[in-house]
Structure 1
Amino acid sequence: MMRWLLLAIFAIFSLARPSAAHESRPAFLDVREFAAGQYEVVWKRPMRGEYVIGFTVGWPKVCAPRVTNESQVPGASITRMLLDCGEMGLVGGTITIGRLPETSAEVLVRIEFADGTNQTQLLRPASPFMTVEGPRSAFAVGTQYLLLGFDHILAGIDHLVFVLGLTLIVGGGWRLVKTITAFTVAHSITLALSTLGLVRVSQAPVEASIALSIVLLARELLLLRQGQPGLTSRAPWLVAFMFGLLHGLGFAGALREIGLPPGDIPLALLAFNLGVEAGQLAFVAAVLVVMALGKRICSNTLPNWLGQVPAYAIGTVAAFWTLERIFAA
């Protein structure tokens, strides 16, 4: 049993490095136009210890950047600058992130124009550049936030581990559909309230509480495997809803950083939630396929104690996250 348990824990830990955990954000380039062709820029790059990831920004040739301030906050280096792009402005130009193709990181770029519209794009190693399009249609805004929501949930390993725990406890069928729906409804409520500023909480204790919620879910999974079903087994939708309220506050941290287009706030919120839900459902479908294949391949040849391994693995990693986030706060 110990060998299988260690292998499971190692596998989840390999996915749960601090760089992959939910509280770790991509680099963030925030550009705000305050006058025609004039921009304020905040360039936030993640740090690993004392090392600042050496991304560089390549601006259109018509633009002249001037650094005004450099500082550090826990886990990130922040550079503020003024950007003068003359009469041409940024629209039609290309922004490139240097050294991004050499990494596995991502850079979120958000440009807010003087009329209140914005363009947000996630740059990856395979596509380290973007063309500034200027004000866009409602359809383009909806598509943009749909993809951002989908990307966010698939990058949020702690949220996915929580959904994995729910799936292992509930199994398939309509009971799982109702459970995931309750989780989605709950995190949509707190996501909207927090993003709109109606509910304000510090992000650090939220992230630690999210990790702790996974520890509690792992305990429920272990009890079920030991023949002592707990509250999650009896009323999974209720537990999913309660913890979904908490997880929504975690989603809101990322969405506040991305920002919402002033003229399309309801649309952007709806699209982001739909993207999160789509990513969640895709993950659940993949888990169910793997579970079905495992049952078909292994049949009844595995010992009963092997069913406890996922609970121990999930609980160990979640406990690590909880302590890490508490001490990092």
Structure 2
Amino acid sequence: MRRLLFLLCLLSSLCSLPANAHKPSDSYLTLTVEENQVEGQWDIALRDLDFAIGLDTNADGAITWGEVQARQKEIDAYALSRLQVSAGGQACPMRATEHLIDDHTDGAYAVLRFQASCAAIAGSVQVRYKLFFDIDPQHKGLLRLQYHGASITGIFSPEQADQTFSLQAPSRLRQFVDYLREGIWHIWIGYDHILFLLALLLPAVVVREAGRWQAVPAFRPAFWSVLRIVTAFTVAHSVTLTLATLGVISLPSRWVESTIAASVIIAALNNVYPLFRERRWVMAFLFGLIHGFGFASVLTDLGLPQDALVIALVGFNVGVETGQLAIVAGFLPLIYFLRGTWFYRRVLLMGGSILIAVLASVWFVERAFDIKLVTP
């Protein structure tokens, strides 16, 4: 009964998922330490700033350079009041020096360049980051700190808003763990990736005979079916995640995000009108190639140097796989337990697949045509 209630809650929760399943909110902070001065560049999404302080003054849905310029002082005050750089326990006063606009894979960003003057920098730098945490607890600040040619990376979250970075010997283990954690988090809040995976897993505990779904007789065939699907998806997205992060291949963000939404629709409808039948691993591989570009968006926008990029890439990918395996390990035993019931075949498999397809269709229209159908 507990398992049944869990699956009911899972199914109902699909209705409450945000319609906007784009890349999560991130900002990109680069700090370059030179003697007793820190040169900073902070890329902040215009959509996030608009939500926080209001940039679209004429409410036409488009943020212009003129509207950004008109609120530049407010942007500086808002951002710099939520960032503190310290050395030796003393805060380093900051001032804005330049303002630009840049395009990232998920839209336009305000670029704030600033200087922080410290009394003395010896051994380490402390950073306190609190941007958007009060209005968006899922926001992350991605840091690259440069000192004498070496690069240190960090990820700020509400739980890790205050961090100290040693300038003597960057810890590769810490960087790996940071990005492993980010990979796990990315898959858990990547609703489109999760629903694609669940749509592929739902038929794993049944087989289609004479036009009807029948429960598999044992766990073994279901396990091997899931293993093929997960392996194909993992191999595919690992390849494109690597190629995209290393800059070998680059695709437009809108095209990638729209295709990911389309993949969820196809995977879900395949459970209603089977096209791939027992070859769902082929679908997992083909669409996994596109999902890899979606996974790479965070690392691509961060623009890490080559040495730190390898560590970030491996850690992030391992994190994605860890989060993915956790989903499979929790979901597969539950659907296996219910595989022979009418509730599973009609409500979870058929009803759940249709619900996933409808939700993904909203994402597809929003992404492909850049319109908002549902307000979060």
The answer as to whether partners of 2:33 and 2:145 remain within 8 angstroms in 1 is: no
Within a 5 Å distance, the mapping from 1:182-261 to structure 2 comes to: 182-223=232-273, 229-231=274-276, 233-261=277-305
Q: CA deviation at 1:280?
A: 0.4
Consecutive unaligned residues of structure 2, counting only runs of 5 or more, are 1-8, 54-77, 206-221, 372-376
The answer as to whether partners of 1:190 and 1:246 remain within 8 angstroms in 2 is: yes
1:93 correspondence with 2:126: yes
Cα RMSD after superposing both structures: 2.9
**TM-score, normalisation: structure 2:** 0.73
Report what 2:63 is aligned to.
Answer: none
One-letter amino acid of the counterpart of residue 119, structure 1 = T
Q: CA deviation at 1:30?
A: 1.0
Within a 5 Å distance, the mapping from 1:12-27 to structure 2 comes to: 12-18=14-20, 21=21, 23-27=22-26
Q: Supply the distance in 2 between the matched residues of 1:85 and 1:147 (Cα, whole angstroms).
A: 32
Q: Supply the distance in 1 between the matched residues of 2:363 and 2:182 (Cα, whole angstroms).
A: 24
Q: Percent identity?
A: 26
Q: Supply the distance in 2 between the matched residues of 1:264 and 1:222 (Cα, whole angstroms).
A: 45
Distance 1:301 1:181, change over 3 A: closer
Distance 1:301 1:282, change over 3 A: same
Distance 1:92 1:27, change over 3 A: same
Q: Supply the distance in 2 between the matched residues of 1:137 and 1:304 (Cα, whole angstroms).
A: 50
Counterpart of 1:82 (choices 109, 114, 117) is 114
Q: Supply the distance in 1 between the matched residues of 2:19 and 2:129 (Cα, whole angstroms).
A: 27
CA-to-partner distance for each residue in 1:125-168, whole Å, 9 max, x for gaps? x4433223344232222222222211211121111110111111
Report what 1:3 is aligned to.
Answer: none
**TM-score, normalisation: structure 1:** 0.83
Report what 2:83 is aligned to.
Answer: 57
Q: Supply the distance in 1 between the matched residues of 2:333 and 2:269 (Cα, whole angstroms).
A: 24
Consecutive unaligned residues of structure 1, counting only runs of 5 or more, are 1-6, 224-228
The answer as to whether partners of 1:116 and 1:262 remain within 8 angstroms in 2 is: no
Q: Supply the distance in 2 between the matched residues of 1:288 and 1:63 (Cα, whole angstroms).
A: 52
Report what 1:69 is aligned to.
Answer: 99
Within a 5 Å distance, the mapping from 1:95-110 to structure 2 comes to: 95-97=128-130, 100-101=133-134, 103-110=136-143
3-state SS of 1:78 partner: strand
One-letter amino acid of the counterpart of residue 142, structure 2 = V
Q: How many residue pairs get matched?
A: 310
Distance 1:266 1:75, change over 3 A: closer
Report what 2:6 is aligned to.
Answer: none
Report what 1:226 is aligned to.
Answer: none
CA-to-partner distance for each residue in 1:215-234, whole Å, 9 max, x for gaps? 111110112xxxxx321x32
Report what 2:346 is aligned to.
Answer: 305
Q: Supply the distance in 2 between the matched residues of 1:48 and 1:319 (Cα, whole angstroms).
A: 25
CA-to-partner distance for each residue in 1:166-198, whole Å, 9 max, x for gaps? 111224302211210110010011111111111
Q: Supply the distance in 1 between the matched residues of 2:261 and 2:344 (Cα, whole angstroms).
A: 30
3-state SS of 2:29 partner: strand
Q: CA deviation at 1:98?
A: 5.7
Q: Supply the distance in 2 between the matched residues of 1:155 and 1:205 (Cα, whole angstroms).
A: 20
Distance 1:140 1:34, change over 3 A: closer
Q: Supply the distance in 2 between the matched residues of 1:72 and 1:186 (Cα, whole angstroms).
A: 30
One-letter amino acid of the counterpart of residue 343, structure 2 = L
Distance 1:117 1:303, change over 3 A: closer
The answer as to whether partners of 2:25 and 2:48 remain within 8 angstroms in 1 is: no
